[in-house]
Amino acid sequence: KAERHVGHNPAGSWMIYLLLLLGVGISVSGLAMLSAGELFEDLHEALSYGALAVVGVHIAGVAAASLLHRENLPRAMVTGHKEGSDLQGIRSPRPVAALVMLVLVASFSVSYWTGWDSATQMVKLPFLSQPLALNERGGEGEGGHGTWLAGED
């Protein structure tokens, strides 16, 4: 019988680290595309597809562990509650870290929302010197992705 974990099992822990690293890589390569153009496009695309693959493996792992241990892991992931002894539980829910993360995500979301111009399909973010074009300009049928920043040809 497989060992049961109240928190993440070792594979689940590695999955979290991998998804966080892929998220950082996707963000950094996406921002690098602003200055280096298509040089980072392939890396950005590969990291994005890698993240999708990791999410797929994670979902399969959750399904397999749910069946193996006969427990509803998706429910535990949403509610944060799983059966086990008090000694196995999380000692601190880390509310300060949760609040900091919430503020960071909310701040980015608000700056994105307020900086969005639907007419030009561009967004002006406080940490970027130029607006970011979120459409793929550059001519239909050319096979390229066009320009990424306002004012570039």
Q: Is the dihedral of CA 75, 80, 81, 83 positive or negative?
A: positive
Q: For 59-94, how does the pLDDT look when each residue is reduced to its tens digit (9 = 90+)?
A: 998 898 888 888 888 887 777 777 766 666 667 778
Q: For 102-153, how does the pLDDT look when each residue is reduced to its tens digit (9 = 90+)?
A: 999 999 889 888 888 888 878 888 877 778 776 654 433 344 444 444 444 4
Classify residue 118 by its DSSP letter: T
Rounded-to-integer distance, Cα 89 and Cα 118, Å: 47
What pTM did the predictor assign? Answer: 0.59
Considering only 11-15, 23-27, 31-35, 110-114, which range has the smallest mean pLDDT?
31-35
Q: Where are the beta strands (DSSP E) in the chain?
A: 116-117, 122-123, 132-133
CA of residue 45 relative to chain centroid, distance: 14
